[in-house]
Structure 1
Amino acid sequence: MTADRPITVEFLNPEEAAKVDAALLSSQEKFLARVTIYALRSLGQISAERGIDIEEITPDLVAEWVQRDRNIHQQVDMDASFVTFFSNLIVSSLKPLRQISAESGKPIADITIEQVLEWFEREAKRRVET
């Protein structure tokens, strides 16, 4: 990211960011929730572009999408290590998304932001209680 170029695309819109901020989560958990919400959106875009279910998306498809995404290019200086890092963030978000999907009985594509936040809050509460 360069100081003279403003960020024009947000990972979360203001309403989504406010929902995350209001969640009963630690700062680290809020970060993970934000990443998961963004990953859900990104995986949905990849799914739509490829005509495949989110569950079929591979790490290679994510990396290819990250390399091509103009919005990301506008926000950061892209190199191979960033592509790997950012792709891994998105792919790692599949784990909680799969768990939310299994618990809700819905495909990942139908998961809502509220369901993501509720899952993170339940997980945080469970960790505190054990």
Structure 2
Amino acid sequence: MQPSTEFLTPEECAEVDQALLTSRERFSARVAIYALRTLKQIAQVNGVAITKLDPKQIEAWVYQDESLQTGIDREFRSFFAQLVIASLNPLQQAARATGVPIESLTVAQVIIWFEEQAKLNLSKITSDL
């Protein structure tokens, strides 16, 4: 399977934009959605579960992703590969929260998880005041 030529689809962008999230949280959700799609592709090509992927496999895939080729230097791709690898943590948490394997997560489930985390963070902040 070839990687997508878009970072996120217009529909995915619209779903994230409608979420009750800060700009920072939207960025994290977008990266997680891209990571989910990418990790599904990498896992399928390698015939393993997402949780069994090696960081080197993920980095190599990000480096060859067509959506990250134009006008982007190698250092940014390395940074972005690390973001994708780091996205495994919230994706694993979202999978546990929904009771499904990472491979079965939907974009909507990822966004809902980020919204729930934002609410928890907000309630912690307000309770500390």
Alignment TM-score, normalising by the size of structure 1: 0.86
Q: What percentage of aligned pairs have identical amino acids? A: 43
Partner of 2:59: 63
Q: In structure 1, the residue corresponding to 2:21 is in which secondary structure?
A: coil
Moved over 4 A (4+): none
Return 5+ residue gaps in structure 1 as ranges. Answer: 1-7
Pair 1:31 & 2:27 matched: yes
Which residue, 13, 38, 51 being the options, matches 1:17?
13
AA paired with 1:52? V
Amino acid at match of 1:65: W
TM-score, normalised to structure 2, is 0.87
SS of aligned partner of 1:64: helix
Q: Deviation string for 1:29-74 (max 9, x for gaps)?
A: 011000000000010110111111111112111111122333422x
The alignment status of 1:41 with 2:41, answered yes or no, reads: no
Q: In the alignment, does 2:116 pair up with 1:122?
A: yes
Aligned-partner SS, 2:6: coil
Is 1:111 aligned to 2:83, yes or no? no
Q: 1:12 and 1:95 mapped to 2: Cα distance?
A: 20
Question: What count of residue pairs does the alignment treat as equivalent?
Answer: 121
Query: 2 CA distance for matches of 1:59 and 1:76?
Result: 24
Partner Cα separation in structure 1 for residue 62 and residue 72 of structure 2: 12
Other-structure match for 2:127: none
RMSD over equivalenced CA pairs, Å: 1.6
